[in-house]
Amino acid sequence: MKVVAGNWKMNMNYKEASALFNSLNNRLINDVEVILCPPSIYLSEFSNKLKNVKLAAQNVSSFISGAYTGEVSAQMLKNIGVDYCLIGHSERRALFNETNEVINTKIHLLLENEISPIFCCGESLTDRESGVQNEIIHNQLELGMNGLDLTQLQNCIIAYEPVWAIGTGLTATSDQAQEMHFFIRNYLKKRFQIENEILSQIPILYGGSCNAENASEIFSKNDVNGGLIGGAALKEDTFSSIIQSF
């Protein structure tokens, strides 16, 4: 499956968000799963109009229900027709103290509610400069996906997002992306004992300053199945040309 997901983060007022959603949603897109991740306040309205795109939440509560002011549960997201949810984004890890254990709890809650996690992992610049990126990703996958079985894994999307490339304009080279995606796929193969055919169907997306200029080079790599796009997802023309970059 080819996937392009646009993470809008906390950007765009209602008018801007509706205009971007409507134009992307009305466009027929062959062969690519296009997932929009708007701020949660827009999800309910957009989900009533879905045609050519899918919706992802940017976050979910780690609690099931109850006295958790400000939180939105996995069941609530499912009730309004959300199919995906970002989990483990580096901004949530760094700014909201999300640990691998919290991420794991959220992944289980999402899967129990039939929402597919888009599980983000990525190393910092210091990690990469010290050459420990594989260990870091291995650890994030091991703890974040703790307790999942193969069927559950088949309902997940993985996004490799090197922290040093997010919002910085520094992109991983296509070879660096391929190398890490291959490492991740190999990890999944061993951990879940998956046959190659099933393994190849698990989408692994690249994220980190991916744009209309570099997307086709990155997407051309064997183990890269698409992208998780931040800044470049906020403009219709750039996001559309990324979608057409396969």
The span from the CA of 78 to the CA of 206, in Å, is 26
- 195 labelled catalytic: no
117 bridge partner residues? 85
3-state secondary structure of 1: coil
The span from the CA of 242 to the CA of 246, in Å, is 8
Name 186's Cβ contacts closer than 8 Å, sequence gap at least 6: none
Give the interface size with ligand PEP as a residue count (CB under 6 A).
13
* By the rule CB under 6 A, 230 interacts with ligand PEP: yes
- Please list every residue from 72 through 111 that binds ligand PEP, using CB under 6 A: none
Contact with ligand PEP (CB under 6 A): which of 121, 141, 166, 202?
Answer: 166
Distances (CA, A) of 102 to 58, 77, 93, 150: 15, 18, 10, 21
Give the contact letters, 116-155, x = binds to ligand PEP (CB under 6 A), - = no: ----------------------------------------
* By the rule CB under 6 A, 161 interacts with ligand PEP: yes
The span from the CA of 230 to the CA of 4, in Å, is 11
Give the contact letters, 40-69, x = binds to ligand PEP (CB under 6 A), - = no: ------------------------------
Nearer to ligand PEP, 51 or 235 (CB): 235
- 181 labelled catalytic: no
Give the contact letters, 174-213, x = binds to ligand PEP (CB under 6 A), - = no: ---------------------------------xxxx---
Nearer to ligand PEP, 87 or 115 (CB): 87
* By the rule CB under 6 A, 7 interacts with ligand PEP: yes
Contact with ligand PEP (CB under 6 A): which of 137, 141, 229, 243?
Answer: 229
Residue of 33, 89, 91, 181 marked active site: 89
Closest alpha carbon to 6 in 35, 47, 43: 35
Contact 183, 139 (CB under 8 A): no
Closest alpha carbon to 31 in 51, 53, 2, 5: 2
Structural tokens at position 172: 């991983």
Contact positions vs ligand PEP (CB under 6 A):
7, 161, 166-167, 207-210, 228-232
The catalytic residues are 89, 161
